[in-house]
Structure 1
Amino acid sequence: MARRPDPELTAQVRPDGYLELFSRRTGKRHRCGPRGTTMWLALQRSGWEPELAADEISLHLGVDPDSIRCDIEAWLAHFREAAK
């Protein structure tokens, strides 16, 4: 099931390739490295569907989509927990 990010969350890919997420609601910032940036962009393009995002990434990297899907789910769980 697609879960769009909090509407109070802003995202910006910085010139160094790192994604910066900022929650206006909590005031928290988080910087993501290239891996997190790739997952965010794939999720955005896939309508926030982890399965579709994993398929996209796995095609580009030539890896098993199930392993990518696990990484995406863990990454999303981290942010859900941080938002509490």
Structure 2
Amino acid sequence: MGRDHGLIASVRPDGYLELFVPLTGKRHRCGPRGTTMWLALQRCDWQTELAAEDVAVRLGVHPDSIRCDIQAWMSHFREASR
């Protein structure tokens, strides 16, 4: 379990990521793709460009196809944590 950006994150045994915002009481579950992005962002010190490269290598796709997803995903969770 980790605490990042006001979130408590845990990867469940089924591979889903659960994010909890103690301040608001909100919870969100992410599927395997979201879990992959979260872990890549952690490994890459929250740098979206590096995380996109990391995910792209793991999935065997071009980083451009991941970059927008990661940026949108981060934006969504920034809003959710307010």
CA distance in 2, matches of 1:69, 1:80: 17
Judge conservation of contact 2:7–2:81 (CA < 8 Å) in 1.
Answer: no
Per residue, is there more strand in 1 or in 2? 2
Give the aligned partner of residue 57 of structure 2.
Answer: 59
- Give the letter aligned to residue 78 of structure 1: H
| Alignment partner of 1:21 out of 19, 31, 37 | 19
CA distance in 2, matches of 1:20, 1:39: 13
- SS of equivalent to 2:28: strand
Judge conservation of contact 2:20–2:28 (CA < 8 Å) in 1.
Answer: yes
* TM-score (norm. length: structure 2): 0.90
Runs of 4+ with >4 A deviation: none
- Give the letter aligned to residue 73 of structure 2: W
Percent identity (aligned): 70
CA distance in 1, matches of 2:10, 2:58: 22
* TM-score (norm. length: structure 1): 0.88
Q: CA RMSD in A?
A: 1.0
Judge conservation of contact 2:7–2:20 (CA < 8 Å) in 1.
Answer: yes
Offset at residue 17 of structure 1 (A): 0.5
Offset at residue 9 of structure 1 (A): 1.1
Give the aligned partner of residue 39 of structure 1.
Answer: 37
**Structure 1 unmatched ranges of 5 or more:** none
- The count of corresponding residues between Structure 1 and Structure 2 is 79
